[in-house]
Structure 1
Amino acid sequence: MELTVGPNQFFWPAEDWSAFYGSLAEAPVDRVVMGELVCSKRLPFYQERIPEALALLTEAGKEAVLTSLSLVTLKRERKHTADLAAMGVTVEVNDLTTLAYLPKGMGFHVGPLVNVYNEGTLAWLASLGATRICLPPELPLSSVRTLARAGRELGIAIEVWGHGRLPLAISGRCYHARLHKRTKDNCQFACENDPDGLDVKTLEGQPFMAMNGVQTLSHSYACTDYQIEALADAGVSALRLSPQSQGFTRICQNYRGRVTGVLAPGAIAADVQKASPQTRLSDGFLTGPSGVAWSAGPIPS
């Protein structure tokens, strides 16, 4: 299987953003999706750095892809979406309104925020020019197997969310701004203080989810360490690794080791929890009774 790095979901300083994508040029991954997925207000801080990053990754032999926004509501967001196709780079669609701005016959990818739950939707997207689809992360292995088979018949590569906090919802309101008693238009970019999202706990103090501006994420980090052989057998062509601020190159190296058979099942999880004991892992959407379940047993508190 190949490895795809998904778009960064968080708001990082421009220098950190550039350093991250510079490091990916040497990382053992096949494909990198970049650009703004969550909030268009973040884009001006690093937008001028995107062409240089695209060139660097392309020169390093990676396939470079640009993401659309996950929620397009404003005029400037519509203009940004229209401009994506003019950059001469494959576009990953994470909001179906993006399709209206792509030239007819132009191939595109589909991200995990588009609800591709059945063969009919997959076939419809294929008819419009989709060549690669990353399935929504909440699908069980049985559905992944069915869609991977349908994708193979249609000539579409099927990806599955491999590692990282799961995207659960996008809202018109900004949770970070509300927390700091600010309006969305005057958020002062409070989300920058939480480079991997802000943990949210229940009233009883139990970890529940994470917030990232207008986005809701899982508290746990999805990890397909114990499911890689089953996913490969199902016909999945690539795993998607979602950026995080610490140790990401190591994660890429470990997943490369797993998909090539150099590392045994459990090696990724053990390394993650050695480096960050407080990190909770999950793979329950694929095989468990609930999304937060973890194949290796009880989730660390």
Structure 2
Amino acid sequence: MDLTVGPNQFFWKPEPWSAFYDSLVAAPVTHVVLGEVVCSKRLPFYQDRIPEAIETLMEAGKSVAVTSLALITLKRERKLSAQLVEAGVEVEINDLAMLAYLPEGTPFSVGPLVNVYNEGTLRWLAGRGATSVCLPPELPLAPLTTLAQLGRELGVAIEVWGYGRVPLAISGRCYHARMHGRTKDNCQFACEDDPDGLDVSTLDEQSFLSMNGVQTLSDSYACADHQIETLKDAGVTRLRLSPQTGDFAALCALYRDRIDGTVARGDVAAALTGARPGIRLSDGFLEGPSGASWSGA
């Protein structure tokens, strides 16, 4: 089972952004997806750094892809989408509208924000040129297993969400801007103050969700630590780790050790909670009563 680092969901300043991808050079990951998936307004801050990051990662032997936006709406976003094809690497689509800019037969990968829930969808995407598909994080184990088996028949790598706050929704409105009394067009990039997302609580002060500009995420961090063997048996070929602040390369190494069997079940979760006191982990979408459930509770 390979490791994939998904696109950064949050807004980081250019220097930390570059430092993050430099840190992945020695990390035990096979695939890296970079670029902007949430808000096109963020892209100009680090867009000129993307080619260098791609070159650095490819020289380190990584397979690299660039992501499309999760919601392509504006004219300038359509133009940016068309330009992705010129990046010289594979494109990960997170909005089916991106297919309009990919010539027939062009290989591409599919991100977790595309609803691949059944065999018909997977077959169609494979016929269109998909080489790998990261399944939506909310997919239960039974259909996940069915799709993994079909993926093997079709020659399509099947990936699942292995770590990170789960992407739940994308909106046309910016929650961060509204919280600060601003409009979306005059957001002043309020989301940069929350590099791992802004925690949202209920009126009873219970942790509920996380806010990231126009994106809604889970409050808990999905963690596949207790599910590695189950996912292997299901036929999953890749595990996706979503970027966060801190020593992410060490987190990647920890997951690599867990997959290889050099650390025991539960060791990854213990390290995560030790490094980030108060963090809530979850893996309930696979087999639990709810997505926020944690088998290690």
TM-score range, shorter chain: over 0.9
Partner of 1:288: 288
In structure 1, the residue corresponding to 2:3 is in which secondary structure?
Answer: strand
Partner of 1:139: 139
Distance 1:70 1:130 in 2: 17
Distance 2:147 2:174 in 1: 34
Partner of 2:277: 277
In structure 2, the residue corresponding to 1:228 is in which secondary structure?
Answer: helix
Task: Using the TM superposition, give the Cα deviation of residue 54 of structure 1 relative to its aligned residue in structure 2, in angstroms.
Answer: 0.1
> What is the aligned-residue RMSD (CA, Å)?
0.5
Deviating 4+ runs (over 2 angstroms): none
Task: Using the TM superposition, give the Cα deviation of residue 104 of structure 1 relative to its aligned residue in structure 2, in angstroms.
Answer: 1.4
In structure 2, the residue corresponding to 1:185 is in which secondary structure?
Answer: helix
Task: Using the TM superposition, give the Cα deviation of residue 75 of structure 1 relative to its aligned residue in structure 2, in angstroms.
Answer: 0.6
In structure 1, the residue corresponding to 2:113 is in which secondary structure?
Answer: coil
Distance 1:44 1:129 in 2: 29
Partner of 2:78: 78
Distance 1:119 1:86 in 2: 31
In structure 1, the residue corresponding to 2:250 is in which secondary structure?
Answer: helix
Amino acid of the structure 2 residue aligned with 1:32? V
Partner of 1:212: 212
In structure 1, the residue corresponding to 2:79 is in which secondary structure?
Answer: helix
Task: Using the TM superposition, give the Cα deviation of residue 247 of structure 1 relative to its aligned residue in structure 2, in angstroms.
Answer: 2.5
Partner of 1:98: 98
Task: Using the TM superposition, give the Cα deviation of residue 266 of structure 1 relative to its aligned residue in structure 2, in angstroms.
Answer: 0.2
Distance 1:17 1:259 in 2: 27
Task: Using the TM superposition, give the Cα deviation of residue 287 of structure 1 relative to its aligned residue in structure 2, in angstroms.
Answer: 1.2
Distance 2:104 2:142 in 1: 33
TM-score (norm 1): 0.98
1:152 maps onto 2:156 in alignment: no
Amino acid of the structure 1 residue aligned with 2:164? G
In structure 1, the residue corresponding to 2:81 is in which secondary structure?
Answer: helix
1:202 maps onto 2:202 in alignment: yes
Q: What per-residue deviation string (whole Å, max 9, x for no partner) do you get for residues 78-105 of structure 1?
A: 0000001112110000000000000111
Distance 1:13 1:221 in 2: 23
Please list every run of 5 or more consecutive structure 2 residues that lacks an aligned counterpart in the other structure.
none
Distance 2:154 2:270 in 1: 38
Partner of 1:247: 247
TM-score (norm 2): 0.99
Distance 2:272 2:156 in 1: 32
1:238 maps onto 2:238 in alignment: yes
Amino acid of the structure 2 residue aligned with 1:238? R
Distance 1:110 1:156 in 2: 10
Q: What per-residue deviation string (whole Å, max 9, x for no partner) do you get for residues 131-153 of structure 1?
A: 10000000111111100001111
Amino acid of the structure 1 residue aligned with 2:136? P
Distance 2:281 2:101 in 1: 38
Task: Using the TM superposition, give the Cα deviation of residue 171 of structure 1 relative to its aligned residue in structure 2, in angstroms.
Answer: 0.1
Task: Using the TM superposition, give the Cα deviation of residue 36 of structure 1 relative to its aligned residue in structure 2, in angstroms.
Answer: 0.2
Partner of 2:181: 181
Please list every run of 5 or more consecutive structure 1 residues that lacks an aligned counterpart in the other structure.
none
Task: Using the TM superposition, give the Cα deviation of residue 64 of structure 1 relative to its aligned residue in structure 2, in angstroms.
Answer: 0.7
Distance 2:267 2:277 in 1: 15
Distance 1:87 1:212 in 2: 26
Distance 1:87 1:243 in 2: 22
